[in-house]
Amino acid sequence: MQLFFEEHISGESFELEGKESNHLVKVLRKNIGDTVLFTNGKGSFFTCMVEDNHPKRCKLKIIAQDFSPLEKFHIHLAIAPTKNLDRMEWMLEKITEMGFNEITFLKTNHIERSQVNFDRLTKKLIAACKQSFKAWLPVLNEITEFEDFISDNAFTNHERYIAYLDKENTKHLFQLAKPNQSYLVLVGPEGDFSPGEVAMALEKGFKPCSLGKHRLRTETAGLAVVHTLNLLHV
């Protein structure tokens, strides 16, 4: 069964907005009495029946609701956006399929892009959740200055790591991370973090970690972080 997304679902029935309604009725040809599955991106699945298949205001009745609890671990990826935003979109799609909870974009010394289209990235996240049958929409945070982010006391209870390439930084994230924790991992831009940024993060309590002996592109490194932490819980 195909999964649909609607953030605002409440009561016994709800209506879709024009674009989504038209897609359901005109493109997918859903008729009155058909059953469809929705998520609100907050952990719930709703089995719904089409009550009115008007293309501009399709009405659905909730006939069953299930809740999918979060995993015992939490993955927060903090990453410098790439110059080519398509690469970030690709990474977001793949890490959503694998499973992660939150992403923050960082302004670093070697940053290639200082702005991102959050509406477009949110749509990519929603599409990936629908494709992979995820009931939780990952949190997408605004771009934040590197120093401000690593100084945030909200992360003191996380296992905090900074991934960078250095011949003396040989401990892999998989070796360092403990199961069932909240994780925060920093990934730098193509030019990597500056020495000053690495020193600042270490001073704030972040641990250095490796993602392997090979130099990775930014989006590949982000994917490696999420895959590694999920693999830890297989």
CATH of span 74-231: 3.40.1280.10
Which residues partner with 62 through β-bridges? 48
pLDDT digits (tens, 9 = 90+) for 137-158: 999 998 999 999 999 999 999 9
pLDDT of res. 146: 96
Q: Are 9 and 40 in contact (CB under 8 A)?
A: yes
Those residues of the chain that have pLDDT short of 50 are none
By the 10 Å C-beta count (0-12 exposed, 13-18 middle, 19+ buried), 13 is classed as middle
Q: Are 15 and 21 in contact (CB under 8 A)?
A: yes
Distance CA 230, CA 234 (A): 7
Distance CA 110, CA 127 (A): 30
Please state the domain extents for the chain.
3-67, 74-231
CB atoms near residue 163 (< 10 Å): 26
pLDDT of res. 102: 98
Distance CA 152, CA 147 (A): 9
Which helix or strand (DSSP H or E) is residue 87 part of?
A: helix 85-98
CATH of span 3-67: 2.40.240.20
pLDDT of res. 18: 79
Distance CA 182, CA 186 (A): 14
Distance CA 184, CA 225 (A): 10
Q: Do 3-67 and 74-231 agree at the fold level? A: no
Task: Report the SS3 class of residue 42.
Answer: strand
Q: Are 120 and 89 in contact (CB under 8 A)?
A: yes
Q: Dihedrals φ, ψ of 37, to 5°?
A: -110, 130
Distance CA 177, CA 225 (A): 11
pLDDT of res. 52: 92
